[in-house]
Structure 1
Amino acid sequence: MTFETTTRRLRLRRPTEADRDFHSAVHSDPRVYAHAPHVIGTPETNKVFFDDILAHWDEDGFGYWVAEDKTSGMPLGWVGVKGAGGDHGDFLNLYYRFVPEAHGKGLAKEAGRAAVAMATQWHADRPVRALVKEHNTASVRTALASGLARTDTTVTLRDDLPDEPPSLLFEAPRVGRVDALDQATREEVLDLWSRVTDAGGAVGFLPGASREAIAAALAAHEEQMAAGDAFAGALREPAGTLVGWGWWVRVPNPLLHHGRWLYRLMVDPDRQGRGYGLVLMAGLHRLAREDGVELLQLGVRSGSGVSAFYAQCGYVEVGRIPGAIRVAEGDDRDDVTMARRVDGQPLRPHGGG
């Protein structure tokens, strides 16, 4: 697996020796360190830092990327996750440093989300965290927008000044597999499902649906789970709050058992805009891969605005039935089917080479 990727505007690639000067330029620029001028890079520290980046790639196969403009190829910054340790355990540190000319454009958020999603899908054995000073409000916003949640933990860093406040610890939510629901989890899912429905989410009901109707749909999914035809992925913040959910369902036809259908993907409306959807999808992809699944499919209704999100997660449209979904009298929507391979390779039609 080559852990390189693209976002809407960026190419995120593995660094090489040829990137040493760019690394030094970014980490020696005082404008980049306006909130912590005492840790600006020197020739010696930059060398050690860059050598460590290359070594991490050699040893672990992933790490901090060079972020390039996807159109021009111009390098704009450094972003990614890399193993870290210390008093707060083994974790993956989310890192982002961009040239000043790239600030204020949302590029660090865009790249940070890709890094958190990659780590969630492929390196879930360690939590993703970021250590940020509270007065660095831009960095705090980037950590939150990248899909991390603020915790109650603070950390004193080795290079902190004597009177400097500790750093805040942010951590990504984590996705766990669920094969059966206890009563507490059942109530959590019903609460989440109701909030998403009332916020207009396309999860099987229109706003105002009763809790009883949603509970009946949940019971049907539980029957699938009990029969071994479905399992769920639960997205929980570090404090344990359930903030996302989705099911992988196997259809009865044994010829299709190498695939799964995604149902009822939902993220807490209060967490919208923070990258949680990408984290949830990445975790669901990991769970499907661990279950031996090869092909993933899902259905969306046109006009819901979610097709672009699923395309960002690697799905492509493979079918459409115009007007198949009647939202209301005079409001018919298309039933759109999208699919992707679990391994991320292109879909290839039979006989198509």
Structure 2
Amino acid sequence: MNDLSLPPRPGSQNSRKVAVVLFNLGGPDSPAAIKPFLVNLFTDPAILRVPGFLRPALGRLIAARRLKPATENYAILGGRSPLLELTEEQARALEAVLQPEMEARCFIAMRYWHPFAEETVRAVREWGAEEVVLLPLYPQFSTTTTGSSIDDWNEACRKAGLALPTTTLCCWHSDPAFAESTAAIVRRAWHEARAKLPAETGLRILFSAHGLPESIVRHGDPYQWQVERTVAAVCERLRIEGAEHAICYQSRATPQKWIGPSTEDAIAAAGRDKVAVLVCPIAFVSEHSETLVELDVEYREVAEKDGVPGYFRVPTQNTDGDFIASLAGLVRHARGSGRSLCSWAGGRQCPKGQRDCPHARAQEAKRAA
């Protein structure tokens, strides 16, 4: 067993300067940034899956139509997203846990607003990193989130000529420490909600995740399957006898058919059943517009309209100590896996039918080479 109190041997893994790159969506930092943020989002080929010659014009059209409601939502938050500041707090907290055992620094690469991947690549190089760990702040892999960020990072590294030993953690949907820390947060929120309700009123947990068009899932994106695995892992650790729960999906953004049931429909069902709801954002690990506005404001109004006898929300993990410890464990595991691409458990976890799992894509690329 390694004694971490001893100085690392020259050239050993723990003597390297490790850049841990946190991937996240990003958000506008001012009212003026809302439109370009939306354009970046809706012109991403991972999001808008139409022929390339159509994408710029169609993406800008969708962004223009979304601008007014998005501006109204961000106005509730003071005209900007809090996501970068919260991600920076997570980065500093994770560094504090990792640094006693390795020379690590956490960097942030946002997908649709600053700091972009190319900015982060420069910062990683300037720091003198000798190794990179890519850590998405999305527990579940989707081609639209983690997949897009990985492609963006790789392209930024190619353009900058940065070639360092890199480990990519693709997903951590069922990581035991993540599930345990999340269950503890849900359990606290459950007891707080339960204390505010009459004993005879039921309480249903709604695990709400960002939705996806059905076409993307049918193509082999593993996101929905991984969301279901996360919920199962958390519920296994809840230790609340008889707790009722359901999975639902929010934030539909296009006219296509999206995976369901929608969060609106799940709230309406609770209203018909006369049970209160405790909404848990199961695919987000920090607060942003989809939790602070969509869940806290818009869906609360839906619940009141539908006659739901109580509406409560589980906070996201943010810098919860056990959650940050789980991220540190994931970094350690990824570095020790000996793999350039790894899941929370090492190799591929998704069923064979999920052909857009990054492990499946990597195998396909290897066969084609």
What is the TM-score normalised by the length of structure 2?
0.29
| TM-score after normalising by structure 1 | 0.30
Give the structure with the higher percent strand. 1
Kindly indicate which of the two structures has a greater share of residues assigned to helix. Answer: 2
